[in-house]
Structure 1
Amino acid sequence: MQIINDADQAAHKLNVEIETLENLLRDLKSLRSGSFPDKKALASAPLIDQWSLGTRPVPCLYGVISGHPRFRRSEGVTSDVWVMSPNRRFIRTMSRYYRLGVRAGKT
């Protein structure tokens, strides 16, 4: 998740994030078309040994959500938060923008 408060910071941080996501998208499209990494490509990839599958939490927001296109006003949780700008009062999740209202515990 990127937390940004000014345009210069946003440009740098988002350029890095965009490049990472573009690389992921390129690889996913390649896999979808049936093109898997060859031995040469995998030879230079890091090795993960004695591995096991796990899960980890991702940043999200909990709160009272209203104006959502699929759900009526209710308590809920967002999808993964990718960008948060408290100063500009928005977040961008995996699926959409949200406006930030009052933070929990503040009046």
Structure 2
Amino acid sequence: MPITLHLDAPARCDRLLRDTAARYEALAADLRRLADAAAPTPAELGAAPLLEDWSWSPRTALTLTGTVQDHPVLADGPIRTSAVLVHSPSQSWVRTLSRWYVLGCPAGQDAEARRG
């Protein structure tokens, strides 16, 4: 389900960002209703597509691994992020399903060489 948007051409991403936000807002509303013990309505299920011959299928999401500092929940050290949803290489940040991250040096790149 997660998608990754790369924002180095924000004008082209505007509609996609808004559409993605609307999808996640709808999902959040549905999850809140389920948490309140409200099942989908007959009208919602009546409008839903039918999936035949279905089976479970694993799906991977793009994540980052690295060494985190100042995480609000985790101790400083190695982590794997939740799914990366938005990435701005030119501004050195990502938005994961959980939070924003500022990107430092990528793996294999020396911090001194990058600054120099």
- What's the TM-score, normalizing by structure 2? 0.77
Task: Report what 2:114 is aligned to.
Answer: none
**Consecutive unaligned residues in structure 1, runs of 5 or more:** none
* Cα distance, 1:40–1:13 mapped onto 2, change above 3 Å: closer
Mind listing any 5+ residue stretches in structure 2 that lack a counterpart? 111-116
Following superposition, the deviation at residue 41 of structure 1 comes to: 2.6
- Point out the structure with the larger helix share: 2
Q: CA deviation at 1:7?
A: 3.4
**Paired residue for 2:80, among 77, 80, 85?**
77
**Aligned twin of 2:95:** 92
The secondary structure found in structure 1 opposite 2:91 is coil
Provide the alpha-carbon RMSD of the alignment.
Answer: 1.9
Alignment correspondent of 1:28: 31
1:51-76, CA deviations, whole angstroms, 9 ceiling, x for partnerless residues? 22333111110112222123333222
The DSSP-based 3-state class of the residue aligned with 1:72 is: coil
Where 2:87 maps in the other structure, the secondary structure is strand
Percent identity of paired positions between Structure 1 and Structure 2:
31
Between stretches 2-11 and 20-29, larger displacement belongs to 2-11
Compute the displacement of 1:106 (Å). Answer: 2.9
Q: Is 1:67 the equivalent of 2:65?
A: no
1:85: how far off? 0.7
Task: Provide the residue aligned with 2:6 in structure 1.
Answer: 3
Task: Give the aligned length.
Answer: 107
- The residue number in structure 2 matching 1:55 is 58
Distance 1:72 1:41 in 2: 43
TM-superposed deviation, 1:98: 0.7
In the TM superposition, residue 29 of structure 1 has moved relative to its aligned partner by 2.3
